[in-house]
């Protein structure tokens, strides 16, 4: 039993550009849909030196709650802290580390390609291969909408880049567990009894 004790967090906290040796985790966070919640979550990550690779948030089925999808990296203990610290926030209703089970993930990107006349056909062909949609077009541009996992995003971006990508926006990833997760709560958000 003798020997050195492993500190729970064995490295100095990192802020941006997380070391890739750490495993990526996708964490679903069900939160109150009200002002200030995003800054509480963001403040938790920046204040404790946890990394956020992407964060997306929108109202959930129940409009009083929002679902956040946070992509982060860390070893087991960092992820454990992230999950616990998120749970500790009063506006957080439920936290699920999706990596614990199977899940599907998607991201959407809008890619505006500057097309010379001779490249327009090529742009459409690439879009077609990736089952992407052209959602807008001007004499000199196509705006292509593509959805998929990270690999697909990177692949289409790589192919379109030589044609000239003018602008690119990505939603950040959203993910969902394959098996049903027990619905968080049917409780009203604040109960005040006489």
Partner 1 sequence: MKLTGAEIFVECLKREGVKTLFALPGGVVLKIFDILHQQKDIDVILTRHEQGAGHMAEGYAKATGKPGVALVTSGPGMSNIVTALVDASMDSVPLVCFSGQVSTSLIGNDAFQEADNMGLSRPCTKYNFLVKDVNDLAVTIKEAFYVATTGRPGPVLVDIPKDVSMNKTDFKYPGSVSIRGYNPTYDGNKWQIKQAAEAIAKARKPILYVGGGVVFSGASEELIELAEMMNIPVDMTLMALGAFPGEHPLSMGMMGMHGTYWANMAVHYSDLVIAVGARFDDRVTGKVSEFCPHAKVIHIDIDPTSIRKNVNVDIPIVGDCKRVLRELNQILRATVNGEQKELRKPWLDQIHEWQRAHPLTYEQDSNGPIKPQHVIKRLYELTKDRDPIVSTDVGQHQMWAAQYFKLTKPRRWLTSGGLGTMGFGFPAAMGAQAAFPGRLVLCVAGDGSVQMNTQELATAVVNKLPVKVVIINNRYHGMVRQWQDLFYEGRYASSYLDVVPDFVKLAEAYGAVGLRAAKVSEIDDVIQEALAVDRPVFVDVPVDQYENCYPMIPAGGCNHEMILADPPELKKKQVVGTPVVGEDKDTVLTA
Q: Is 7 in the site for partner 1 (CB under 8 A)?
A: yes
- DSSP of 77-122, one letter per residue? HHHHHHHHHHHHSTTEEEEEEGGGS-EEEEEEEEEEEE--GGGHHH
Cβ-Cβ contacts under 8 Å for 110 (sequence gap 6 or more): 135, 143, 144, 145, 167, 168, 169
Residues within window 115-174 making contact with partner 1, judged by CB under 8 A: none
User: Among 24, 40, 134, 159, which residue interacts with partner 1 (rule: CB under 8 A)?
Assistant: 40
CB of 184: closest distance to partner 1 in angstroms? 8
User: Among 53, 62, 91, 105, which residue interacts with partner 1 (rule: CB under 8 A)?
Assistant: 91
Say how far apart CA 59 and CA 54 lie, in whole Å. 17
CB of 124: closest distance to partner 1 in angstroms? 47
Q: Is 63 in the site for partner 1 (CB under 8 A)?
A: no
Piece of 100-108, 111-119, 134-142, 184-192 that binds partner 1 (CB under 8 A):
184-192
**Of 29, 24, 37, the residue nearest 79 (C-alpha):** 24
Complex with partner 1: residue 26 or 78, whichever CB lies closer = 78
Tokens in use for 178?
């394959």
Cβ burial 134-161 (10 Å sphere, 16+ → b, else e): eeeeeeebbbbebebeeebbebbeebbe
User: Among 11, 23, 84, 158, which residue interacts with partner 1 (rule: CB under 8 A)?
Assistant: 84
Q: How many residues bind partner 1 (CB under 8 A)?
A: 37
Q: Which positions touch partner 1 (CB under 8 A)?
A: 1-9, 31-32, 36, 39-40, 43, 47, 77, 80-81, 84-85, 87-93, 185, 187-194
């Amino acid at each position: 039993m003798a020997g050195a004790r492993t500190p729970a967090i064995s490295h100095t906290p990192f802020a941006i550009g997380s070391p890739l040796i750490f495993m990526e985790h996708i964490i679903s966070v069900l939160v109150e849909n009200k002002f200030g919640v995003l800054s509480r979550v963001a403040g938790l990550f920046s204040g404790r030196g946890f990394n956020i690779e992407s964060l997306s948030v929108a109202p959930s089925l129940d409009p009083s709650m929002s679902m956040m999808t946070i992509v982060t990296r860390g070893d087991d203990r960092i992820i454990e802290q992230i999950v616990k610290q998120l749970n500790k926030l009063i506006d957080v209703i439920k936290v699920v580390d999706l990596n614990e089970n199977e899940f599907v993930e998607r991201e959407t990107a809008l890619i505006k390609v500057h097309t010379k006349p001779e490249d327009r056909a090529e742009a459409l062909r690439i879009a077609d291969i990736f089952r992407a949609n052209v959602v807008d077009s001007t004499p000199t541009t196509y705006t292509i909408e593509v959805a998929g996992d990270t690999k697909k995003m990177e692949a289409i971006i790589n192919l379109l880049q030589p044609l000239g990508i003018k602008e690119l926006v990505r939603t950040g990833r959203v993910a969902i567990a394959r098996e049903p997760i027990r619905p968080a709560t049917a409780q009203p958000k604040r109960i005040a009894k006489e």
